[in-house]
A and B are shown apart, each in its own frame.
Chain A
Amino acid sequence: MSSDRVYHLVALQDLELMIREAQDPTKKEEEEKLGFPVQGMAELEKAREAVLKKIPQRDLRLYQRIKAKYDRVVVPVRSWICLGCFQALPTKATRAVSENGPLPTCENCGRILYWL
């Protein structure tokens, strides 16, 4: 489905954040000190591979291109504000994602937009 295109990119970004934090000794220790185990990295890596398979190559290329520039590739939109660069989006900006069309991106920072 077309709306799944952004959904899978959000899932990928969330997973990559989780993997990064689980691999960060300081963050891991902070969580474990509170009583929350942080194990099973292999499961997360497997999940990441599975999500990657669901993403069309051109979307993945765009994701990687933006990632080279910013930590956050997909950013939420609230009240027509891109929460990546905090610029107002033009009213012509569309939240619709078609099957083969371009993904919605911020005209200012270029990040992929996810409407809340």
Chain B
Amino acid sequence: MTADTFLSYFSERRFIRDLRARSKEGVLGEMCRALAEDGEIRDPNVLLEMIRRRESLGSTGLGKAVAVPHGRSTAASDTRVIFALSRKGIDFEALDGEPCHIFFMIVAPYDDVRHEYLPLLGKIVEIVSDDAVREQLMGADSFDAFQAVIREALGE
């Protein structure tokens, strides 16, 4: 996946520099609302309910400060990702028990005809598995800075 293709799932309006929420539930709500405010989703509650259910199958807090809440919903017509940072860190019930600071929320359509969902999820996991990239993502204070980190991580 090229950097351009990867970045096409993101947008400046879906970049949250520092989450206001201080709890896992709050983070999920804030990110779903951001997606709705971007005009992608009419009702954030539909999405939030789906994302919550996915979390009930097991936390998407991967550990090493990263969480990737994700799911597919009838309410989504395209695959979209929201990126958010929490400077303070959130207890996301991550596998390592440590607070999460870096959040990627992926929302894909119910039918995922383009088969984008799992490859995208895999690419995000691959990107954040690098210690240096996580460090750089933590310091991304603008969408431009975020894009630069991703381009470098993907070797461009």
On A, residues with C-beta under 8 Å from B are: 7, 10-11, 13-15, 17-18, 22, 30-31, 34-41, 43-44, 47, 71-72, 74-76, 78, 83, 114-116
Contacts and interface: CB of A to CB of B under 8 A. Distances in A.
B121 A15 contact: no
Contact of B74 (A35, A44, A74): A74
B56 A43 contact: yes
A7 B42 CA distance: 11
A11 B110 contact: no
Interface of B: 41-43, 45-46, 49-50, 53-54, 56-60, 62-63, 68, 70-77, 95, 109-111, 118, 121-122, 125
B71 to A, nearest CB: 7
B71 A13 contact: no
A40 B57 contact: yes
B56 A116 contact: no
A52 B76 CA distance: 22
8 contacts: A7-B45, A14-B49, A18-B54, A18-B71, A35-B125, A40-B56, A76-B109, A115-B42
